[in-house]
């Protein structure tokens, strides 16, 4: 059976009975410590496997979240509001799927309502749900925009992500201070240059 068949279509997470146990995960950390050249049984490292596994649960909590469900509750009493709704500078913490090192940055998320709006905290939660997974920035940007577009059915969606990748700043070419910018424009933000310019002006780009 293909490994993908073990994944939940809603969350992208493997079924619980297909996951390694806590003990197996901690043993894997001990193996990495030994591979690095240290002794996992010494005082300073003896509790490290437990702490690492606990941290990983936080880092990758997005696999437990369903972004579609997050956006399900909407509000129709908008008094005809049909201008841009924008959430700027959403703190973003993710991990590169190629090296499993941090991606740190911000996301700007906007949409043009069509009859209904969603609580602004839900937009931030959708970003977090996708960010807290093994990711590449391009895919993350598209996932956030596509999900908002599919669930809310707005007139348009715009997502811009600006982030620094530790796989580039702390290893490899080692170029600190470099920021990667990705965007996904749908609907009016793609088709109407005026709407797109308004959004970019609002985020200071």
The catalytic residues are: 96-99, 137, 165, 167
Report the relative pairing of strands 85-96 and 134-135 from DSSP bridges: parallel
Strand partners, 108: 160
Polymer length in residues for the chain? 205
Residue 161's CB is within 10 A of a number of other CB atoms, namely 27
Tokens of 194: 């005026």
Closest C-alpha to 164, from 152, 151, 177, 153: 177
First to last CA, the chain: 47
3-state secondary structure 67-81: HHHHCCCEECCCCCC
Tokens of 78: 């908008």
- The kind and range of the H/E element at 87 are strand 85-96
Which DSSP category does 11 fall into? Answer: T
């Amino acid at each position: 059976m293909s490994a993908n068949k073990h994944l939940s279509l809603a969350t992208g997470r493997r079924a619980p009975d297909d996951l390694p146990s806590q003990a197996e995960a901690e043993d894997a950390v001990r193996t990495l410590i030994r591979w690095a050249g240290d002794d996992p049984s010494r005082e300073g490292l003896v509790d490290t496997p437990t702490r690492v596994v606990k941290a990983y649960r936080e880092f990758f909590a997005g696999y437990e979240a369903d972004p579609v469900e997050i956006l399900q509750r909407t509000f129709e009493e908008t008094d005809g509001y049909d201008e841009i709704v924008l959430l700027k500078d959403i703190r973003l913490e993710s991990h590169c799927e190629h090296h499993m090192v941090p991606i740190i940055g911000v996301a700007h998320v906007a949409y043009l309502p069509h009859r209904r709006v969603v609580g602004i905290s839900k937009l931030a939660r959708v970003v977090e749900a996708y960010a807290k997974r093994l990711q590449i920035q391009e895919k993350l940007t598209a996932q956030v925009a596509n999900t908002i577009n599919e669930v809310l059915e707005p007139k348009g969606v715009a997502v811009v992500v600006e982030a620094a990748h530790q796989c580039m700043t702390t290893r490899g070419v080692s170029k600190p201070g470099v920021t990667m910018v990705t965007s996904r424009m749908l609907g009016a933000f793609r088709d109407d240059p005026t709407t797109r310019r308004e959004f970019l002006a609002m985020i200071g780009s």
